[in-house]
Structure 1
Amino acid sequence: MKYRSCPVCGNRDVEILHKLEFKLLKGVDLPDNYDIVICNRCYFVYADTSATQAQYDIFYRDHSIYENGVSVSDMDKYRIIFECLRRRFDKSKSVLEIGFANGELLQMLKKDGYKYVYGLDPSKACVDSLIKNGISAFRGSINNNSVNKKFDAIILSHVMEHILDIAAAMNSIKDLLADGGQIYIETPDLEQYKANSVTPFNYFDLEHINHFGVYSLVNLAIQHGFKVLENGSKKWAIGGDKFYPACWVLASFPKIEKSEKCRDLVKVYVKDCLIKTYPEIEKLIKTREEIIVWGTGSFAQRLYMQTRLDKCNISMFVDNDKNKWGKEFGGKIVTAPSDIKSDNKILIASVYGSQDIKNQISKMGLINETIILSEK
């Protein structure tokens, strides 16, 4: 593995199966080769390409094959998906198709009574065409878009095999999915490649960089917190005795549990924290007497920024933690308690150990007056 860890499980230990090379069209800014690799952990097969997602986004934006119309075999593909989805998606729910190409599937859904259908695609021509057909569309990619709606169902039909950063894509899907929403993902089926091969490396091309089977689609959904509802494989005729193989998974994302009580309590807590003052600190600011601050931990660090401790006349900071000695804090070098030589008052900046520190001061034989901040 040179460039990509396993897109499904994140493993970096892979077996190289073959280095595939291409003769590219002029103007295509993608690498002309990649290694076909298989993950040694989950057995997912993918292209270890040096390309970036930005390069692929530009490629799909400028070289969409779907701007040229829809083929008979593609229509068969859409009909099969449509029949699958219409039995599973409620017509009253909102549906987003990511990478909708020529929009045939969305148009089928709309004609069947789905009122809230939307599309997201990087191709301007595809977006414009869908809008002309009366369907709302957004221009952008799965990992780079400005969609600010939530959807009850999201369709990715033959999209995931094109995505470089699948983990980011799954997170983007979750951002677009309403609580309890469903996703339908369909890709070419690796497990049927051999039985339906037409030419050598028929399914390994410039664009298909991820090769799923049912098992890896299920793994992908589970890895990202989805509950798998159904899965399967299929194929459809693409001319003569040739068939195109595909696999799919239908999954739902658990409804997010919310606690209004918790939300309200933390808001009150933060508000109370913001109005908290320490009269001891205010008094020291007025008297301008020199003080020693004992403690430079998290409480002291918050105290310094959220109160007016920095306005006090601090002569030194000390701490029991040896790891803090010699480090600068509040413009002073933190030292050990044994370095205390003056009889300046000691402000104890500790939440839970203030009494222990006071006892320690006493055992050290120091006569310094101690100040413990009031809790209320």
Structure 2
Amino acid sequence: MPDRIHYTNCPVCHSASLKPVLNAIDYTVSKESFAVWECQECTLRFTQDVPASAHIGPYYKSEDYISHTNTSRGLINKIYQAVRRRTIRNKRRLIERTTGLSNGHLLDIGCGVGTFLHAMQESGWKVTGLEPDAEARKVAAQLYNLQVQEIDELEKLPAATYDVITLWHVLEHVHQLHDYIEKLKQLLKPGGTLLIAVPNYTSKDAETYGPYWAAYDVPRHLYHFSPASIDRLLAQHAMEVIAHKPMWYDSFYIALLSSKYKNGQSNWIGAAWQGLRSNLKASGEVRRCSSVIYLIRHTAK
């Protein structure tokens, strides 16, 4: 399969100690089944035989892919929109509390239709947004008058420019993982902060739903991170996680989608219970949350 990537070594730690753990279905677009494998060294999971970067575009073509369309169609997406307004406020407060800055230069990679970027700009930040999807960039211009750039512009951005770089559920989509982390490190100002939010397959909701867990989202999600695998990845680039922050709402949204995938329709009461169970499990250990925000800084002097 020349248009597919078959890993014989772990994408994070390069170990050859790999094993298949489950098969997950692409419920959003193709209905294809993809194998998910796990590294026995760093505990990263990854989608095996994933489409190469030049061939993965069609798997994003769905009217229900909300980060690209801003759709409010259907009850789940309406709830998503309402929750997103609250989470954006929380993200802004987290950034300002963590950095001690009320303004500065912020780069948001994979900014979708620009809702978060717009909120930060309204709060006084100088913002730059990158987004691979042309329709999402168009919506950002229409809704917020944001001139979001194509993702290829990442290589042209000036080094040591940004106080904050954010990737909200983006890193799991990036084919060239190590090159990407190194580039982000170069773009940060000295003392700058990188925030990476990704789903966490070690969460209780992932355990509950198994192959139906919606955050596997194959093949768009190339990697399925554990906190240990994030630590291992960043250490190779002289970067360190300084704090973990929970994304409490994600467990409920993911449980709703997961129950739909498993049962053919969303079980609202059951999903609410599973989301609550997941959050209760993570309340004493944020590293078990359904999605985790990693606050990251350089460790190199």
TM-score of the two chains, using structure 2 as the length reference: 0.70
Q: Distance between the aligned counterparts of 2:245 and 2:227, measured in 1?
A: 6
Q: Distance between the aligned counterparts of 2:209 and 2:215, measured in 1?
A: 8
Q: Assess, with a 3 A threshold, how the Cα gap between structure 1 residues 102 and 49 changes in structure 2: closer, same or farther.
A: same
Q: 1:81 aligns with which of 46, 68, 91?
A: 91
- 1:223 — aligned with what? 236
- Establish whether residue 127 from structure 1 lines up as the match of residue 140 from structure 2: no
Q: Aligned-pair distance for 1:62?
A: 8.5
- Establish whether residue 245 from structure 1 lines up as the match of residue 256 from structure 2: no
- Establish whether residue 40 from structure 1 lines up as the match of residue 40 from structure 2: yes
Q: Aligned-pair distance for 1:230?
A: 1.3
**Structure showing greater relative contact order (alpha-carbon pairs closer than 8 Å, 6 or more residues apart):** 2
- Establish whether residue 184 from structure 1 lines up as the match of residue 188 from structure 2: no
Q: Does the CA-based 8 Å contact 2:239-2:300 persist in structure 1?
A: no
Q: Distance between the aligned counterparts of 2:240 and 2:200, measured in 1?
A: 21
Q: Aligned-pair distance for 1:190?
A: 1.5
Structure 1: gaps spanning 5 or more residues: 257-376
Q: How many residues align?
A: 250
Q: Distance between the aligned counterparts of 1:109 and 1:23, measured in 2?
A: 33
Q: Distance between the aligned counterparts of 1:183 and 1:2, measured in 2?
A: 30
CA RMSD of aligned residues (A): 3.2
- Establish whether residue 17 from structure 1 lines up as the match of residue 21 from structure 2: yes
Q: Does the CA-based 8 Å contact 2:69-2:136 persist in structure 1?
A: no
One-letter amino acid of the structure 2 residue matched with residue 251 of structure 1: I
- 2:169 — aligned with what? 158
Map Cα deviations across residues 20-69 of structure 1 (whole Å, 9 max, x no partner): 455885xx7xx944321110111111112242122235655897543321
- 1:92 — aligned with what? 103
- Establish whether residue 168 from structure 1 lines up as the match of residue 179 from structure 2: yes
Q: Aligned-pair distance for 1:4?
A: 5.5
Q: Does the CA-based 8 Å contact 1:233-1:246 persist in structure 2?
A: yes
Flag the structure with larger Rg: 1
Q: Assess, with a 3 A threshold, how the Cα gap between structure 1 residues 197 and 92 changes in structure 2: closer, same or farther.
A: same
- 2:214 — aligned with what? 202
Structure 2: gaps spanning 5 or more residues: 72-80, 257-267, 276-288
Q: Does the CA-based 8 Å contact 1:117-1:136 persist in structure 2?
A: no
Q: Assess, with a 3 A threshold, how the Cα gap between structure 1 residues 21 and 78 changes in structure 2: closer, same or farther.
A: same
Q: Assess, with a 3 A threshold, how the Cα gap between structure 1 residues 248 and 171 changes in structure 2: closer, same or farther.
A: same
TM-score of the two chains, using structure 1 as the length reference: 0.57
- 1:360 — aligned with what? none
Map Cα deviations across residues 348-369 of structure 1 (whole Å, 9 max, x no partner): xxxxxxxxxxxxxxxxxxxxxx
Map Cα deviations across residues 92-138 of structure 1 (whole Å, 9 max, x no partner): 32100000112121122122222x11100012232233345244421
Map Cα deviations across residues 212-252 of structure 1 (whole Å, 9 max, x no partner): 23332222222221132212333214375164921121111
Q: Assess, with a 3 A threshold, how the Cα gap between structure 1 residues 76 and 8 changes in structure 2: closer, same or farther.
A: farther
Q: Assess, with a 3 A threshold, how the Cα gap between structure 1 residues 109 and 53 changes in structure 2: closer, same or farther.
A: same
Q: Distance between the aligned counterparts of 2:18 and 2:166, measured in 1?
A: 30
Q: Distance between the aligned counterparts of 2:146 and 2:28, measured in 1?
A: 35
Q: Distance between the aligned counterparts of 1:228 and 1:190, measured in 2?
A: 18
Larger helix share, 1 or 2: 2
One-letter amino acid of the structure 1 residue matched with residue 175 of structure 2: L
Q: Assess, with a 3 A threshold, how the Cα gap between structure 1 residues 36 and 59 changes in structure 2: closer, same or farther.
A: closer
Q: Does the CA-based 8 Å contact 2:24-2:211 persist in structure 1?
A: no
Map Cα deviations across residues 126-173 of structure 1 (whole Å, 9 max, x no partner): 22333452444211258x654346322110000112223211221222
Q: How does 1:108-147 map to 2 (within 5 A)?
A: 108-114=119-125, 116-132=126-142, 133-141=144-152, 145-147=155-157
Q: Does the CA-based 8 Å contact 1:61-1:123 persist in structure 2?
A: no
Q: Distance between the aligned counterparts of 1:195 and 1:59, measured in 2?
A: 25
Q: Distance between the aligned counterparts of 1:255 and 1:223, measured in 2?
A: 11
Q: Secondary structure at the match of 2:95?
A: helix
Q: Does the CA-based 8 Å contact 1:162-1:208 persist in structure 2?
A: yes
- 1:68 — aligned with what? 69
- 1:265 — aligned with what? none
Q: Distance between the aligned counterparts of 1:127 and 1:78, measured in 2?
A: 19
Q: Which runs of 4+ in 1 moved over 6 A?
A: none
Q: Assess, with a 3 A threshold, how the Cα gap between structure 1 residues 58 and 176 changes in structure 2: closer, same or farther.
A: farther
Q: Aligned-pair distance for 1:17?
A: 1.1
Q: Does the CA-based 8 Å contact 1:214-1:248 persist in structure 2?
A: no
**Percent of residue pairs identical:** 18
